[in-house]
Amino acid sequence: MPKRPTGEFSAATMADIAFLLLIFFLVATTMDIDTGLSRQMPPYNPDQEESKDQIKERNVYVVLINSSDQILVEGIPMNVHKLRENAKEFIVNPTNKDNLPEKRPTEIDYFGEVMVSKGIISLQNDRGTSYGIYIKVQNELIAAYNEVRSEVAMQKFGRHFSDLPKDKQDAIKKYYPQIISEAEPKNIGGN
Amino acid sequence: MAKFGRKGKGGLPQISTASLPDIVFMLLFFFMVSTVMRETTLKIEQHLPGATEVKKLERKSLVSYINIGKPKGATFQAMYGTEPRIQLNDAFAKVADIRDYVFAEREKMDENERPLMTVSLKVDDKTKMGIVVDVKQELRKASALKINYSTRKVDAIE
């Protein structure tokens, strides 16, 4: 029997093994990456009553959703598609109106001393509200913040917010702080 | 013209298969890297709501999932009804089970990574907020404060 030369082997079976593994991963794979809206909840504290009376009414942007998925913003019924523009006006308060939030001077890196809004968005929903509309409202409110932040990023640094280094992003986040407070839901609308 | 004449007589020349493994391995590595193993079978209907401002959930090891939705199919609906239910791992659960689930999930993580734990809420968009609120309250009691509402990425909301 002739001896095979050393250092040479048939690569044909390697393809079979690799195909086997490939098919396994093809079957086991799910391509979708999880995406979502990230929120931070306040710690649980049963004794602490929400002290709304310390916050002036002009500083609070009240968004209510009832059990038939209707939205009431600052006492006015509103379509979910109009919410973003309306919330942006509340966050920025460009002309310092009396009925929109107050501002206080704050020292921020890169910006120096600037006027930062005291505005808070308060979101309240009913137990009968559908999750779909709740996410839409959350999305629009987050979108409003993201839009004003990217506008100021463009003005100040000439780049998109997401392209900025972390310290500049943090500075912008301080410039437009995102405060969305969620009240305990009430069972007002009935089910 | 002899230049283009076929050398040898009859029979096709053998194609070398030596590069085939390379190609297959390339594909294999692509799928291995991009793969996410299916961990649980969903027993509930789940049509996630769409949103535009989504962020990717990074670090899978830090994420625990809570699924909420209507029981799927006639068999589960006969057993559990048609009202939205909570599914943790592979089983249906009650609101009261969430705290234990969070503690168990937290126990699995490295000690220094525990504060980074995120709970992903995968909720069907037709669910009423009542059950979601109860779950969120339980999560607050269990000090799992970082949550993520799982959504699909869409270009504009309907």
Which domains does chain B possess?
Answer: 50-153 (3.30.420.270)
Q: Per residue in A94-149, pLDDT tens? A: 888 777 888 888 888 788 888 888 888 888 888 888 888 888 888 888 988 888 88
ipTM: 0.74
| Count of CB pairs separated by less than 8 Å, A with B | 157
The answer to whether residue A45 is domain-embedded is no
The answer to whether residue A31 is domain-embedded is no
Give the integer Cα–Cα distance in Å for A157 and A155: 6
Give the integer Cα–Cα distance in Å for B138 and B144: 9
Q: Which uninterrupted H or E stretch holds A61?
A: strand A60-65
The answer to whether residue A8 is domain-embedded is no
B8 pLDDT higher than 80: no
B24 pLDDT higher than 50: yes
The more confidently predicted of residues A92 and B11 is A92
pLDDT of res. A190: 45
The more confidently predicted of residues B101 and A58 is B101
The answer to whether residue A144 is domain-embedded is yes
The CA–CA distances, whole Å, from B61 to B55, B110, B145, B152 equal 17, 10, 17, 21
CA of B56: which chain A residue's CA is closest?
Answer: A35
Cβ <8 Å between A131 and B145? no
Give the number of domains in chain A: 1
**Does residue B8 come out as left (phi exceeding 0), alpha (psi in the -120 to 50 range) or beta?**
left
pLDDT band at A191 (very low <50, low <70, confident <90, very high): very low
Q: Is A160 at the interface with chain B, CB within 8 A?
A: no
Q: Is B63 at the interface with chain A, CB within 8 A?
A: yes
Single pTM value for the model: 0.77
The answer to whether residue A62 is domain-embedded is yes
Q: Backbone phi, then psi, for A159, in 5-degree steps?
A: -135, 165
pLDDT of res. A32: 64
Q: Per residue in A22-56, pLDDT tens? A: 888 888 776 667 788 888 888 887 766 555 557 77
Q: Is B35 at the interface with chain A, CB within 8 A?
A: yes
Q: Is A138 helix (H, G, I), strand (E, B) or coil?
A: helix
The answer to whether residue A23 is domain-embedded is no
B5 pLDDT higher than 70: no
The answer to whether residue A175 is domain-embedded is yes
The answer to whether residue A46 is domain-embedded is no
Tell me the residue range of the domain where A83 lies: 54-182
pLDDT of res. A53: 57
pLDDT band at B7 (very low <50, low <70, confident <90, very high): low
